[in-house]
Structure 1
Amino acid sequence: MTKLRNARAGVTALAALATLCLTGCAVGANAGNAGTAEAECPGASTPFDGLELAADVRTIDGPSTACLADTSLPIIASDEASAVPLTVTGADGVEVTVDSTERILPIDITGTIAATVFSLGLGDHVVGRDSSTGFAEASDLPEVTQEGHTLSAEAVLALDPTVVITDTTLGPRDVLAQLRDAGIPVVIVTKERSVENIGELVDQIAGALGVPERAALLKSAIDADLSSVTDPINATIPADPADRPRMIFLYVRGSANVYYLFGEESGADSLIDAVGGFDVAGEIGWEGMRPVTAEALVQAAPDVVLVMTEGLASTGGVDGLLERLPALASTPAGEHRRIVDMADTEVLGFGPRTPAVVDALARAVWAPDTVAAASAAGGTDGDAATGTADGDDGDDG
């Protein structure tokens, strides 16, 4: 596997997002719902190392949208049955006994836990979903979250789950205590999310379900897929980091006037590393997730800005974002309109689809003419737009 930044302890993007969401700011609560139609996305027929990249990726003009050519989940094949009953100690230090995995409820703020359970081949036992579980395989399941990411005890109890697997990104916490008081095993897994700790999360989820062999198979598959994506990226892009695009990840919600810059230990930094970008947040010493300032944007001087699709739409698209953040407009990314968006339920999931996410983002950054045209969220008035290389004028749409 490509050499990536080591996984770090501390506050992650998911934890910070949870804080925002629990104060009334929903992440992808609308378009992120399962079953929502996705923009047409062409297949990645040409390997990344076979693409013709711009002479200088920093001269590309126009926004682009990263999308998955195949939104289905990778599912491993295994006959291993859950070794229950079992006792496991959760990430919260609480010892939990799981007697049955017949009715599994996997929930968190990005749908990553549910995606992992499905990829382990146990999707038939899942009885419900959170509002961020946006893959088609779970589209018919009832939701147990309301008002964005508020967990409903009544909705959970109505499903009669035999085990709930979650982290601490959904709340209120009193609901989890209520479920435990009702006799439902609630296993807490890590809230850390990054490219590097996918295997750790798989182990914890599989451990709660008693399927270690399935975990080994899934981790091996993810590692192989990630290597098949990142090896060509690393072999193709400039070796000198100074020749790579300076990148930042902005979390924006125009309706709530929320603009955060994701820094080191946020998870977004590992994603930027994986797609071959230069993580500017590390250079300027920006840690965790904090409200962005004009000074930080000017100091960062990004060439490319990553955002969530729904977030970009909430600001009125690229023009709206640049109007709301004038300092961003004066950066190279603003001048070239190099805003790359990706679906809220995909970009920071850090689960079984991460290899596909990395590939899609890398193409949108390095070779935007190979991905779908920019979505309405990324355009001026809803017309499609695709970035063009070497300073050629593109349709700003």
Structure 2
Amino acid sequence: MITRRLLTAGLLAAPALARAAPPRIAVAGGGVAEMLCALGLEASLCGVDSTALHPARLRALPQLGYQRALSAEGILSLRPDMLVHAHEAGPPPVLAQLRAAGLPLLPVPRIADAWQLIAAITALGEALGVDPAPVTRALAADFAALTAMLPGGPPPRALFLLSAGNGAPQASGRGTAAAAMFGLARIRNVVEGYEGYRPLSPEAALTLGADWLVAPRHSVEARGGEATFLAQPQLALLPAARAGRLYTQDSLYLLGFGPRSAHAARDMAGALRGVTLPPLPERPWL
């Protein structure tokens, strides 16, 4: 279904663009940029948004700003042949302005599991004239190995948090990248009553029974470090906070849903279970 959605998104010109040597591709979305690099298209990237942080050398490319706050003028000034973007990129009026200017757009839908990731990379490769099979075969093997290595028994219970400014931390419910990563790592998301993110209250936090707290590293650093993060009134009384059970990781590695996702899920699964899991193979995109 994802392949069909990608290839019917008004982008029938994409294979023709792929025959031009080389195409100039602007990218909005860190995970999408990782997919393109894994497909061997890094040399074609002419600009990336601020979430494209891996591989680190992408930071030297012209910047498009934040993927949710793109500028049509800034993108068009790079003279790209197309914009490949994550589902959340925008705002919509800017994407409409780019279409009106004649720039082909290739959207990558929301990815919520391993097979949707593989389907998205397959569709990107086909649309851009690159054989995706070496990447997708490797990813299929990685996810199969991940599934086989995860222990049975009751899964760890975890609460995923985002924190910005001095407000209450936002807790992840269903339908988020965080919830999807918990699914890959066979970790139970303790927030099941809503979709998306909502502010967490101290009272609600105490009812959730989380064994672990999980947060992107930038959210923890923005609060002044792990001790300050765990001392927030919404978290301070939780057994997990008092025991220092906080797992942090680079946000793109943890939530980007790119080709490193199996490795990220393996790392989180081992940490939250307190076990050393077998390593996954080294890949060129790591």
Greater Cα offset, 151-160 or 301-310: 151-160
Stretches of structure 2 that go unaligned for 5 or more consecutive residues are 278-286
User: Helix, strand or coil: the match of 1:144?
Assistant: coil
CA RMSD of aligned residues (A): 2.6
Q: Deviations over 1:171-220 (max 9, x none)?
A: 22222122222221112221344445212321332243133xx2233221
Aligned partners of 1:316, 1:268: CA distance in 2, in Å? Answer: 22
Q: Which residue of 1 aligns with 2:198?
A: 290
Shift of 1:256: 5.3
Q: Deviations over 1:209-234 (max 9, x none)?
A: 133xx2233221111122223322x2
Higher relative contact order (CA 8 A, sep 6+): 1
Aligned partners of 2:136, 2:235: CA distance in 1, in Å? Answer: 39
Greater Cα offset, 304-313 or 354-363: 354-363
TM-score, scaled relative to structure 1: 0.62
* Contact 1:91-1:190 at 8 Å conserved across structures: no
Question: CA separation of 1:149/1:266 partners in 2, compared to 1, >3 Å: closer, same or farther?
Answer: closer
For 1:350, which of 257, 261, 272 is the aligned residue?
257
Indicate yes or no: 2:139 matched with 1:226: no
Shift of 1:281: 2.1
Q: Which residue of 1 aligns with 2:282?
A: none
Q: Which residue of 2 aligns with 1:240?
A: 153
Q: Deviations over 1:332-377 (max 9, x none)?
A: 211211111111221101110112211222233234899xxxxxxx
TM-score, scaled relative to structure 2: 0.83
Indicate yes or no: 2:93 matched with 1:183: no
Aligned partners of 1:261, 1:95: CA distance in 2, in Å? Answer: 36
Aligned partners of 2:205, 2:235: CA distance in 1, in Å? Answer: 6
For 2:117, which of 198, 209, 213 is the aligned residue?
198
Matched residues, number:
269
For 1:154, which of 45, 59, 73 is the aligned residue?
73
Q: Deviations over 1:5-34 (max 9, x none)?
A: xxxx9xxxxxxxxxxxxxxxxxxxxxxxxx
Q: Deviations over 1:314-342 (max 9, x none)?
A: 12222322332x24222221121111111
Greater Cα offset, 338-347 or 91-100: 91-100
Question: CA separation of 1:280/1:89 partners in 2, compared to 1, >3 Å: closer, same or farther?
Answer: closer
Shift of 1:121: 1.2
User: Helix, strand or coil: the match of 1:328?
Assistant: coil
* Contact 1:165-1:189 at 8 Å conserved across structures: yes
Stretches of structure 1 that go unaligned for 5 or more consecutive residues are 1-8, 10-87, 371-397
Matches within 5 A, 1:1-397: 90=6, 93-94=9-10, 96-98=12-14, 99-101=16-18, 102-108=23-29, 111-135=30-54, 136-145=56-65, 149-211=68-130, 214-232=131-149, 234=150, 237=151, 239-241=152-154, 244-253=155-164, 255=165, 257=167, 259-282=169-192, 285-324=193-232, 326-367=233-274
* Contact 2:85-2:107 at 8 Å conserved across structures: yes
* Contact 2:170-2:197 at 8 Å conserved across structures: yes
Aligned partners of 2:276, 2:153: CA distance in 1, in Å? Answer: 24
Q: Deviations over 1:281-325 (max 9, x none)?
A: 23xx3433222233331111211011000001112222322332x
